[in-house]
Amino acid sequence: MDEPQEPRDEDFLVQPCKYEYLDHTADVQLHSWGETMEEAFEQCAMAMFGYMTDLERVEVKQVHIVEAEGEDMMSLLYHFLDELLFVFSAEPFLIAKVVKIVEFDWDNFKIKARACGEEFQIGKHSQGTEVKAITYSAMQIHDRPEVERPEIFVIIDI
């Protein structure tokens, strides 16, 4: 992860919410979708951050570049979310209001993204549920012609 960067104008563009939370035994399932697979990945990341705090209270004050890679789409999604969770769980304790993928390499399963937000502060940001880990359990990525839109299902350990 690189040093924090100053936000650019596009870092403030909050996308419409395209995710929901589904009940799952002892955990929660994130369900996201988008016009593209990139947007579905971004929305899944936003669902994770939204489960941890009220994103309406988050301001875009800094940007961190996050990179992830995998052996296939599922491991890429896992590592992408895990990298974002690490940025929240360790210094700088970043809670992202906007996650924007700037590079998505389908052939080599690599992502480079901008996580735009600020340091999590108790008092300013509400404490939602702690996300302990991303899981492969029942992970699904749908991007087939018979499906209207790319969709993702991920169970997070809470």
H helix count then E strand count, the chain: 2, 8
Q: What is the pLDDT of residues 69-119, one digit of tens each?
A: 999 999 999 999 999 999 999 877 999 999 999 999 999 999 999 999 999
Please give the CATH superfamily to which domain 19-157 belongs: Archease domain (3.55.10.10)
Q: Is 152 within 8 Å of 41 (Cβ atoms)? A: yes
The domain ranges of the chain are 19-157
Query: pTM score, two decimals?
Result: 0.89
**How far apart are alpha carbons 50 and 152 in whole angstroms?**
16
For residue 112 the two structure tokens come to 């480079």
% of the chain beyond a pLDDT of 90:
73
